[in-house]
Amino acid sequence: MRAGFALGLALLAGCGPAPRPAGTAKIDATREAWYGDTLQRLTAMNREAESLYRGGKADRASDLILRAEPLANRLVAVSRPTLGAVEAASDLDDLYGRMLLANRNYGWARLEFQKNLARWKNWTPQTPETARRLKQANDAIAECDRRMAE
């Protein structure tokens, strides 16, 4: 009887959850070298794209934006992106949205501005800069809506 009881306990013990691996600390990706490097590259690409667009070279600016999008996506995909990374991604989306708006692609432009609206509406803590960016996104969406209604 004791042998059956011991065998039953052994079988039940084998059905439990697997033990957690030892030493699995959460890594803060924002402190990794790649994060800072990627943020610097994205910020530089944003400045260059903005300069190209203002200089009348929208096609070259568009190409640069397309190359910068994966960088922005990688930066904001971490569990707690930095404010600088969210601002850089927001700047990229804002520029792209303005370009789309200028080309009368109102629906696509609105989508870009809505991404920024969601970013800044949910950002904590709110600061004067995040409030300014939220208002900017709201105003851009209103402009898209106004133009679509024409």
The answer for residues whose C-beta is within 8 angstroms of residue 60's C-beta and 6 or more apart is 52
CATH of residue 141's domain is 1.25.40
What's at 58, amino acid-wise?
A: A
pTM higher than 0.85, yes or no? no
List pLDDT tens digits, range 8-65. 555 555 555 666 665 556 789 999 999 999 999 999 999 999 999 999 999 999 999 9
**Closest by CA position to 45, among listed 30, 22, 62:** 62
Mean pLDDT over 56-85 rounds to: 97
List pLDDT tens digits, range 83-108. 999 999 999 999 999 999 999 999 99
CB-based burial of residue 22 (10 Å sphere; 0-12 exposed, 13-18 middle, 19+ buried)? exposed
Residue 134 banded pLDDT, cuts 50, 70, 90: very high
> Is 7 part of any domain?
no
Number of domains in the chain: 1
> Is 140 part of any domain?
yes
Phi-psi region of 32 (alpha: psi -120 to 50; beta: other; left: phi over 0): beta
> Is 67 part of any domain?
yes
> Is 19 part of any domain?
no
Structure tokens given for 14: 């084998």
Q: How far apart are CA 36 and CA 43, in angstroms?
A: 11
> Is 111 part of any domain?
yes
> Is 48 part of any domain?
yes
> Is 12 part of any domain?
no
> Is 38 part of any domain?
yes
Enclosing domain of residue 47: 32-149
